């Protein structure tokens, strides 16, 4: 059943919020559990829709998966099926993370081309090229990527772009390959570090996680482990921008503030006071935000997943902001919905210029992806009247207890059936 959020404008957010484990990490960790026979337990998992979706993918491969609140327990059998079911995979992009583990463990993989957010083309070319350099053959057949390898071997691999997904699939294939793999221009995101930390706990030999060069020495076998998922920097960043947009005061815990260095710096430039702690931060805004320019880049640059929040803040800032999107070409479809709310925006290719207005006006808007949906909710908090955000299942895929946490901070948001 489709649901919508009814967001009342004019509320200031204030209070404390704790973030759970990262969506962009837990799904890849669940896939990595395929690499070792036995029981892998993940703690601090977010209670979002994508976790049971990944459970369905793993169950289709022969695993049994128990979800108990924020704890996910995965029982991986001695024999794993290499066929990832289309119905399970097509619903979300992260399902492609099973490709590397399946090739490493089974010597073959049949993974239906994944679905997910409507934010632009995300081809698997670099995934396939990396696996081919490790000794696999790959091709697209009947809507699935097919990979086969009698024996994976180490290789020197240089990515054209620091793709997170390609980095993950190459690492999870290389850990059981014969010899050394050197991956250059690798993604540096904290979620990559989290994956490598878990793989090392399973017995993998990996150096350089968090840098642009990762070195993997293959081992013959991995063992299951227990692991705590890293905090979700995108959810934490959303709360930071919520404080700035509503001229509020929010303390966020459960996140290393260094994972949000640039987004927090941008909020400071917009006029907010930011205090950082060992396991969190506080954002206070006592004035109308100032206009700030943004350009999205791979970590440690400004995250593309926080671009909608930056646009929402810029829409009500004093002055003109220019936002440049360098990662996903279709992400600016969110701007059309912001303009429905009264944002003064002009799109030119992968740039958008926003002349801030003092207040937005409520209307009906539609989520096209997880982060766009969250950005529209934040915009609704500073719009006159009641804004209706449709297709909120996208938001539920990435934000646990979003409505409840908003209301605990002083918002007035209701969930309703369409």
Is 290 annotated as ligand-binding?
no
According to the annotation, is 28 in a ligand binding site?
Answer: no
327 is in an annotated binding site: yes
Q: Which residues are catalytic?
A: 117
185 labelled binding-site residue: no
For strands 351-355 and 344-348, give the pairing.
antiparallel
For residue 13, give Cα distances in angstroms to 112, 248, 400.
42, 5, 18
Residue 233 annotated as binding site: no
> What per-residue string of b and e applies to 354-378 under the rule 16 or more CB within 10 Å gives b?
bbbeeebebeebbbbbbbbbbbbbb
Structure tokens at 30: 């669940």
Which residues are known binding-site members for UDP-N-acetyl-alpha-D-glucosamine?
93, 305, 327
Which residues are known binding-site members?
23-24, 93, 305, 327
């Amino acid at each position: 059943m489709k649901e919508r959020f009814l967001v009342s404008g004019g509320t200031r957010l204030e209070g404390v919020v704790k973030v759970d484990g990262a969506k962009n990490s837990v799904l890849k960790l669940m896939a990595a559990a395929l690499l070792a026979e036995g029981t892998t337990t993940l703690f601090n998992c977010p209670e979002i829709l994508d976790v049971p979706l990944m459970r369905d993918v793993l169950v289709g491969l022969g695993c049994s998966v128990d979800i108990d609140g924020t704890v996910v327990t995965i029982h991986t059998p001695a024999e794993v099926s290499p066929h990832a079911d289309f119905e399970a995979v097509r619903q979300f992009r992260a399902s492609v993370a099973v490709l590397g583990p399946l090739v490493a463990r089974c010597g073959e993989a049949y993974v239906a081309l994944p679905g997910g957010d409507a934010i632009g083309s995300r081809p698997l070319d670099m995934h396939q090229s990396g696996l081919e350099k490790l000794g696999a053959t790959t091709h697209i057949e009947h809507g699935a990527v097919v990979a086969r390898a009698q024996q994976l071997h180490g290789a020197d691999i240089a990515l054209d772009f620091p793709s997170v997904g390609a980095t993950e699939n190459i690492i999870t294939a290389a850990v059981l390959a014969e010899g050394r793999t050197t991956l250059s221009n690798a993604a540096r995101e904290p979620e990559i570090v989290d994956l490598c930390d878990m793989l090392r706990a399973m017995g993998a030999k990996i150096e350089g996680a968090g840098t642009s060069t990762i070195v993997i020495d293959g081992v013959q076998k991995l063992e299951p482990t227990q692991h705590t998922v890293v905090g979700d920097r995108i959810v934490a960043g959303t709360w930071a921008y919520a404080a700035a947009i509503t001229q509020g005061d929010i303390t966020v815990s459960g996140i290393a503030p260094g994972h949000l260095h640039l987004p927090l710096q941008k909020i400071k430039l917009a006029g907010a006071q930011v205090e950082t702690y060992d396991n969190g931060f506080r954002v206070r805004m006592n004035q109308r935000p100032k206009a700030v320019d943004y350009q999205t880049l791979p970590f440690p640059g400004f995250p593309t997943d926080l671009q909608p929040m930056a646009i929402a803040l810029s829409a009500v800032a004093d002055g003109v902001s220019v936002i440049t999107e360098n990662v996903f070409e279709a992400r600016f479809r969110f701007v059309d919905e912001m303009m429905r709310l009264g944002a003064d925006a002009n799109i030119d290719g992968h740039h958008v210029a926003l002349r801030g207005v003092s207040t937005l006006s409520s209307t009906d808007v539609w989520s096209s992806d997880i982060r766009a949906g969250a950005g529209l909710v934040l915009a609704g908090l500073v719009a006159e009247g009641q804004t209706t955000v449709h297709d909120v299942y996208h938001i539920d895929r990435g934000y646990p207890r979003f409505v409840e946490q908003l209301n605990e901070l002083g918002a007035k948001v209701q969930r309703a059936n369409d």
